[in-house]
Structures are given as C-alpha cells and as structure tokens.
Amino acid sequence: MLDLAGIVDNSTIDYPGKISAVIYLCGCDFRCPFCHNREVVLNDPMVCKKAEVDEIVEEINNNFLIEGVVITGGEPLMQADTVELIIKLKGVKKLKLDTNASFPNVLEKVIGMLDFVAIDVKAPYDKYGLAIGTSNFSEIVKNVQRSMVILKSSDVSKEARTTIVPGINDSEEDMVQMCDIVKSGGFEMYSLQQFRPANTLDPSYGDMKSPSVEIMRKLGQTAKKLLPTIKVRISTIEHGFEDVL
Ligand code: SF4
C-alpha cells in the first residue's frame, strides 16, 4: 500500500525526451522551506490517498501512449512499498526515479532496476540544514554522500538538480561546492532551476523574489566551467530551459 497523491498521465517534461506518466508519492523526510509541494510532503489527507501497488501498476500498464514512468514525490524512497512498485514496473516502460538521496540503502536495492535517476543537490554540505529545514543534518549529509558513491559506480543515466534559492545556495562559492558534489556522483547532466515563490512549505518564502535570469545564467556558466564534460541547463520563468554552452 502506498500513499499516493496522483498519477499524471502524459507528461512531456518529467522524463527527458519521453512522454511519461508521473506517479506522485506522498511524504518526505525533508522540510525544504522553498518546497512548493506542501500537501504532498505533509501527506495532506485532502490530496493523499492509500493505493494498492497493483492498482498503480495496472493504471500504468493500461496507458499505451507513454514510453516512460517517473516516480516522484515527496520522497518516493521513504515508503517501504516503493521497492515493490519499482520491481513491478521495471522493464515494462523506461523507469525514472526522482529522489533527495537520503535513503542510500534503498537506492542501492533499486538502482539496477532503473533507467534514469534524478537527484537533488540541495546546497553545499555545510548549508544542507538551511536548505532542508533542520539543524540536525549530519546523518543526512552522510546518507547523501553514500548515495553519491552508489550513483557513481552505477551506469544508470543520472541528472543532478538544484533549485537556486536566494540566501541558501545562490553565491558563486555555493556553486563551486555544489559542483564538487555533482562530480562525486558522476552525473551526465546538471540542472539549475529558479526558485518560484508559490505555495511554499515555509510561508515566509512566498514573499521572496526568484533569483534573476542574470544570476541563473552566471551560476550556470560557473557550473559549466567546472563541469565541462557534462550538460548544464538552467530553467527560468522568463526563458524556460536554456542549455549553458
Ligand atoms: S523540495 Fe524538499 S521537502 Fe519538497 S519534496 Fe523535495 S526534498 Fe521534500
């Protein structure tokens, strides 16, 4: 049984290059103040309902238009039955997992069944607590570091992602340190997305401005300089997706 917020049938943006169904699983061990999935993270009963793994698998199998499936959240690896879901979906469609990297033991179990993994790099490790809303983050950082080691030794396709949030991770020094984390995971792609002040977990972030396009482009250029062999991409409200060359 899984806590499920819903399934989006035909997404063109969640799995690179593929039309996919997106499964939103509820609950998260992080409390990122800038998160805009408040109801999903807090397992709000108005949004999250219990669903059998087999029900979800059947709905996916009946969707003949999709080439891929994305399992996202919240934090999908927090729920025990996510492993069963992955086992039952593997090989049927291309399978992508979005995770915050804090469950390395589970990641290790499932990584061989996945085609694509997208991992959050929240902030430089010494600022992780600020980014995920807790002062008690040393164990979490160790878990994220273990996930990076697991990823590096896997040949699954991998993308690292960072939401750029003013005051948390928007300086050049922050980007230098986050690029070190990206290197440690052996990623093929690094995506920087602009924070958007909508439906934030911490309501005070609703009054904060998004980082400017100029800041996003500058950070993207810094990342590209430090990670010349991987694809670096930024996304902004103003211009959508831009590859950094
Ligand atoms: S942004 Fe943070 S709180 Fe929101 S789902 Fe991702 S890890 Fe959880």
Residue 146: give its domain's CATH number.
Answer: 3.20.20.70
77 lines ligand 1 (CB under 6 A): no
Q: Looking at ligand 1, which residue's alpha carbon is closest to its atom 5?
A: 74
Average pLDDT across the chain, whole number: 96
Residue 92: band (very low, low, confident or very high) from pLDDT cuts 50, 70, 90: confident
Q: What is the pLDDT of residue 140?
A: 97
102 lines ligand 1 (CB under 6 A): no
Look at residue 6 and tell me whether its pLDDT is greater than 90: yes
Q: In 3D, which of 207, 203, 202, 213 has the Cα closest to residue 241?
A: 213
Residues near 30 by beta carbon (within 8 Å), at least 6 away in sequence: 41, 75, 100, 102, 122, 132, 133, 134, 140
DSSP 113: G
Residues near 167 by beta carbon (within 8 Å), at least 6 away in sequence: none
pLDDT, tens digit, 9 for 90 and up, residues 168-213: 999 999 999 999 999 999 999 999 999 999 889 999 999 999 999 9
What range does the domain containing 220 cover? Answer: 2-244
Look at residue 91 and tell me whether its pLDDT is greater than 90: no
pLDDT, tens digit, 9 for 90 and up, residues 150-180: 999 999 999 999 999 999 999 999 999 999 9
Q: Looking at ligand 1, which residue's alpha carbon is closest to its atom 2?
A: 32
Residue 245: band (very low, low, confident or very high) from pLDDT cuts 50, 70, 90: very high
pLDDT, tens digit, 9 for 90 and up, residues 93-128: 899 999 999 999 999 999 999 999 999 999 999 999
DSSP 209: P
Residue 227 phi, psi (nearest 5): -125, 60
Euclidean distance between CA atoms 135 and 166, whole angstroms: 19
If one counts the domains in the chain, the total is 1
Question: Which region, left, alpha or beta, applies to residue 224 given φ > 0 means left and ψ of -120 to 50 means alpha?
Answer: alpha
